[in-house]
């Protein structure tokens, strides 16, 4: 009996409280919701040290980097630290055959050498306010979704006009908890962000796709930038006269490293999670959506790999595309594995039946929530075929680049329908864009992708979702996809930049006629039209209904499990996640350690390899054990893991220790735990960080950028110098 009661208590507290490590918390609510637990887990600083609007706090050192990653200020001269893969676009843009910064790395040894990056920005969060009451003013349950949204839009517009802020600041208002809550962010965006340093890809992306999403890891995934400001330290557009930004706060760098059980927290801008889904949505992810997307990408990657292995030029052209297709492909496989292994669907069903029991037991919930789960289940059943069609369209159409080019060319016809000026403007835009994209295009590769993917498009989908024009041509070609693609690629003018230029050189009337007559243009138009008329309307209507139900369900969960602290799903806003440095067991009989060292870098080293080559200087430093102040007992730490709940967008986020000092740089998660976006499980979810001492070793010993080391502030509790 005692045992039974104990079990009951454990299972109730499990359901009601979630896991200590789970959650992407709002920094302004830490004091109320998390501080006590964070301290219990080892944190030495206070919630106000992390987020405060009245005094400088750690949040003043954190920026959204270009809107897709996180970076942190690590010197009083605006030096920024982020990942190599976050800075990669900038690194690539400055690279040429003469200055191959991708291959060789780049280091500015004085500020004059730092490189400007058009379009790149860094956004600080100045203040976060709860504006729910204002935004939802007058919004009642009787409104239709459309009425509700227009009431909200109106309220937001009024609110925007009334916000107290400086002229150089911006305002952002975002929904949280499935739009049950709204928060307002006052932000400052700096748009002069210069490249300061990046290691060679052989360090910054060591292990490439093979090691991506994997532990043990040995990647030095970092790069450095600097924020420049006007003379008044305020945001200013790029100018040679701008000066290094003086931050309100810069992070101190800890020399102490981490050990098992240490408290860590990750502070950054996680992109998107779905932690409160109905079990049938998880089931669909595992059984239908992920497998469909994985299947398509497996085909695409197989084709690309075949070409890239044989042809050095194609390898360079398609490297970035391959990496990006492969990134999500690998993540989804980990997600299916993790969701299956941790019985996520069964567990969610159990959670739902607990929910239902409580609802049934309380008359005040009865009316509002009794049908909710049933309706959600039905809605997910209804959306399934449309979701599948969406996945197919989104995964296939953009990968056949001919369709994208056809879309660009067709946009000239649309522009022409408006007027001649619109046409001329659009023509320049399209040409500029295509000049760029054709650098990374090979018609032979594209045609093979077409064969493999369009075959799936036609074979795996319901008839109503397949373009009639494509289907007719397929039948005409004796149901041979290769015969079809032969015809398309030999007849179209869109698969070669030369042909496109020749076509565009004609008179406006000739150009428009030629585009309208092009076989690829015609097929793409029909593929697009079929999707827009047979999938989108139903999909959007069903999705809007799901959003409504999920919104009610979110509120219901918070009502029903009223003692549980809830965190909102990630939405690219500033969050804090925390946990302890921890090993994990990926499968039976295997236990993964928490720290890697340079020995492991050397164990993986394959001279001349595409993924595991190393610069000679790294090997020399290793052989001489020349680690300087960054090594411990003759060994150089490289990466470590902890149970911090992170997702895409957290890349580049600082990992801070109990005292709020920088110990690591977040860049990935372990494969077995990528399902943390849907179902966080503390047994196998770990985030991966570069040890800050490895970053410093590379800056100091490998790059010999003493100028950068001199800017930073190092701290140690053990008297390490
Ligand atoms: N998996 C990490 C993140 O999503 C790192 C990706 C970059 N590295 C790579 N080898 N593609 O997004
Ligand atoms: N690598 C991811 C990023 O780029 C981080 C993650 O998904 O864990 O943001």
CA distances from 509 to 98, 407, 408, 430, 491 (A): 43, 19, 17, 17, 20
The two structure tokens encoding residue 448: 């093979």
Whether residue 94 lies in the annotated active site: no
Specify the pLDDT at position 598: 98
Cross-strand pairs, 577: 266
Q: Single out the catalytic residue among 651, 676, 681, 700.
A: 651
| Phi, psi (degrees; rounded to nearest 5) at 71 | -145, 165
By residue count, the chain amounts to: 721
Q: State the closest ligand 2 atom to the C-alpha of 652, by its place in the atom list counted from 1.
A: 9
Q: How far is C-alpha 536 from the geometric centre of its chain's CA atoms? A: 25
Which ligand approaches the C-alpha of residue 572 most closely? Answer: 2
Whether residue 651 lies in the annotated active site: yes
Probe ligand 1: pick from 327, 612, 689, 690, max atoms within 8 Å of CB? Answer: 327
Whether residue 677 lies in the annotated active site: no
The two structure tokens encoding residue 215: 């532990």
- Whether 652 is in the pocket of ligand 2, judged by its Cβ within 6 Å, is no
- Whether 321 is in the pocket of ligand 1, judged by its Cβ within 6 Å, is no
- Whether 651 is in the pocket of ligand 1, judged by its Cβ within 6 Å, is yes
**Look-up of token digits 């996945």:** 391
Strands 253-254 and 714-715: parallel
**Look-up of token digits 């993964």:** 592
Element (H, E) at 690: strand 687-691
The Cα–Cα gap between 202 and 103 comes to 7
Query: In angstroms, what is the span from residue 213 Cα to ligand 1's centroid?
Result: 7
Which ligand approaches the C-alpha of residue 86 most closely? Answer: 2
Which ligand approaches the C-alpha of residue 321 most closely? Answer: 1
List, in sequence order, every beta strand (DSSP E) within 142-252.
Answer: 170-176, 181-190, 192-198, 223-229, 243-244
- Whether 221 is in the pocket of ligand 1, judged by its Cβ within 6 Å, is no
**Look-up of token digits 């299972």:** 11
Query: In angstroms, what is the span from residue 201 Cα to ligand 1's centroid?
Result: 13
Query: In angstroms, what is the span from residue 677 Cα to ligand 2's centroid?
Result: 11
- Give pLDDT tens digits for 215-272: 999 999 999 999 999 999 999 999 999 999 999 999 999 999 999 999 999 999 999 9
Does the bond joining 216 to the residue before it have cis omega, within 30 degrees of 0? yes
The sign one gets for the Cα dihedral 276, 278, 283, 288 is negative
Specify the pLDDT at position 238: 97
Probe ligand 1: pick from 211, 212, 673, max atoms within 8 Å of CB? Answer: 212
CB 699 within 8 A of CB 709: yes
Query: In angstroms, what is the span from residue 205 Cα to ligand 1's centroid?
Result: 9
- Whether 208 is in the pocket of ligand 1, judged by its Cβ within 6 Å, is yes
Q: State the closest ligand 2 atom to the C-alpha of 649, by its place in the atom list counted from 1.
A: 9
Question: What residue owns the CA closest to ligand 1's atom 3?
Answer: 668
Which ligand approaches the C-alpha of residue 266 most closely? Answer: 2
Q: Single out the catalytic residue among 84, 85, 278, 645.
A: 85
Q: Would the pTM of this model clear 0.85, i.e. be above it?
A: yes
Query: In angstroms, what is the span from residue 571 Cα to ligand 1's centroid?
Result: 19
Q: Single out the catalytic residue among 129, 192, 221, 446.
A: 221
Specify the pLDDT at position 720: 87
Which ligand approaches the C-alpha of residue 88 most closely? Answer: 1
Query: In angstroms, what is the span from residue 296 Cα to ligand 1's centroid?
Result: 19
- Whether 323 is in the pocket of ligand 1, judged by its Cβ within 6 Å, is yes
Q: State the closest ligand 2 atom to the C-alpha of 70, by its place in the atom list counted from 1.
A: 9
Question: What residue owns the CA closest to ligand 1's atom 7?
Answer: 85
Probe ligand 2: pick from 329, 665, 669, 686, max atoms within 8 Å of CB? Answer: 669
Question: What residue owns the CA closest to ligand 1's atom 11?
Answer: 323
Q: State the closest ligand 1 atom to the C-alpha of 207, by its place in the atom list counted from 1.
A: 10
Specify the pLDDT at position 11: 42
Residue 328 C-beta-side C-alpha neighbours within 13 Å: 15
CB 226 within 8 A of CB 244: yes
Query: In angstroms, what is the span from residue 380 Cα to ligand 2's centroid?
Result: 28
- Whether 650 is in the pocket of ligand 2, judged by its Cβ within 6 Å, is yes
Specify the pLDDT at position 368: 81
Phi-psi region of 53 (alpha: psi -120 to 50; beta: other; left: phi over 0): alpha
Specify the pLDDT at position 9: 44
Specify the pLDDT at position 18: 54
- Whether 469 is in the pocket of ligand 1, judged by its Cβ within 6 Å, is no
In this prediction, the residues of the chain whose per-residue pLDDT falls under 50 are: 1-17
- Whether 327 is in the pocket of ligand 1, judged by its Cβ within 6 Å, is yes
Specify the pLDDT at position 96: 84
Question: What residue owns the CA closest to ligand 2's atom 7?
Answer: 648
Query: In angstroms, what is the span from residue 468 Cα to ligand 1's centroid?
Result: 38
């Amino acid at each position: 009996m005692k045992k039974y009661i104990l079990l009951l208590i454990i299972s109730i507290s499990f359901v009601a409280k979630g896991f200590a490590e789970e959650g992407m918390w709002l920094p302004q609510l830490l004091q109320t919701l998390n501080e006590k637990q964070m301290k219990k887990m080892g944190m030495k600083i206070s919630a106000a040290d992390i987020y405060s609007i009245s005094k400088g706090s750690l949040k003043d050192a954190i920026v959204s980097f270009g809107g897709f990653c996180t970076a942190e200020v690590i010197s009083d001269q605006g030096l920024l630290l982020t990942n190599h893969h976050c800075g990669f676009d900038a690194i690539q843009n400055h690279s040429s055959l003469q200055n191959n910064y991708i291959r060789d790395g780049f280091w500015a040894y004085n500020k004059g050498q730092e490189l400007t990056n058009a379009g790149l920005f860094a956004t600080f969060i100045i203040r976060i306010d709860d504006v729910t009451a204002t935004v939802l003013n007058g919004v009642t349950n009787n409104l239709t979704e459309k009425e509700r949204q227009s009431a909200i839009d109106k309220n937001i517009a009024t609110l925007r006009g009334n916000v107290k802020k400086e002229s150089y600041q911006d305002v952002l208002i975002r929904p949280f908890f499935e739009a049950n809550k709204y928060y307002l962010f006052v932000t400052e965006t700096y748009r002069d962000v210069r490249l300061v340093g990046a290691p060679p890809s052989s360090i910054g992306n060591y292990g490439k796709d093979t090691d991506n999403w994997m532990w043990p890891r040995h990647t030095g995934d970092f790069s450095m930038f600097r924020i420049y400001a006007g003379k008044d330290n305020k945001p200013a557009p790029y100018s040679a006269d701008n000066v290094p930004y003086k931050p309100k706060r810069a992070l101190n760098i800890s020399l102490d490293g981490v050990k098992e059980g240490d408290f860590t927290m990750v502070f950054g801008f996680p992109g998107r999670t779905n932690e409160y889904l109905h079990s049938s949505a998880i089931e669909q992810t595992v059984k239908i959506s992920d497998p469909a997307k994985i299947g398509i990408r497996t085909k695409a990657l197989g084709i690309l790999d075949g070409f890239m292995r044989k042809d050095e030029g194609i390898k360079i052209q398609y490297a970035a595309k391959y990496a990006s297709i492969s990134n999500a492909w690998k993540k989804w496989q980990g997600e299916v594995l993790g969701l299956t292994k941790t019985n996520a669907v069964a567990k969610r069903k159990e959670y739902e039946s607990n929910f239902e029991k409580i609802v049934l037991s309380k008359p005040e919930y009865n009316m509002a929530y009794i049908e909710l789960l049933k309706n959600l289940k039905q809605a997910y059943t209804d959306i399934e075929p449309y979701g599948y069609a969406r996945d197919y369209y989104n995964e296939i159409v953009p990968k056949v680049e001919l369709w994208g080019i056809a879309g660009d060319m067709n946009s000239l016809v649309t522009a022409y329908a408006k007027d001649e000026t619109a046409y001329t403007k659009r023509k320049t835009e399209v040409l500029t864009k295509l000049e760029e994209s054709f650098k990374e295009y090979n018609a032979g590769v594209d045609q093979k992708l077409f064969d493999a993917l369009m075959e799936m498009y036609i074979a795996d989908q319901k008839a109503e979702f397949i373009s009639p024009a494509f289907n007719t041509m397929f039948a005409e070609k004796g149901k041979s996809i290769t015969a079809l693609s032969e015809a398309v690629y030999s007849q179209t003018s869109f698969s070669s930049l030369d042909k496109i230029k020749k076509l565009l050189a004609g008179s406006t009337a000739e150009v428009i006629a030629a585009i309208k007559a092009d076989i690829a243009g015609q097929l793409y138009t029909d593929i697009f039209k079929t999707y827009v008329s047979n999938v989108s309307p139903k999909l959007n209507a069903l999705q809007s209904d799901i959003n409504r139900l999920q919104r009610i369900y979110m509120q219901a969960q918070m009502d029903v499990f009223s003692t549980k602290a809830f965190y909102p799903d990630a939405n690219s806003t500033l969050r804090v996640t925390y946990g302890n440095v921890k090993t994990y067991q990926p499968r039976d009989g295997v236990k993964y350690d928490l720290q890697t060292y340079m020995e492991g870098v050397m164990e993986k080293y394959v001279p001349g390899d595409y993924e595991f080559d190393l610069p000679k200087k790294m090997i020399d430093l290793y052989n001489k054990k020349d680690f300087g102040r960054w090594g411990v007992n003759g060994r150089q730490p490289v990466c470590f893991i902890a149970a911090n709940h992170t997702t895409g967008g957290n890349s580049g986020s600082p990992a801070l220790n109990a005292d709020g000092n920088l110990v690591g740089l977040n860049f990935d998660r372990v494969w077995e735990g990528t399902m943390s976006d849907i179902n966080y499980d503390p047994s196998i979810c770990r985030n991966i960080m570069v040890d800050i001492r490895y970053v410093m070793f590379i800056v100091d010993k490998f790059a010999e950028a003493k100028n950068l080391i001199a800017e930073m502030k190092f701290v140690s509790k053990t008297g390490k110098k």
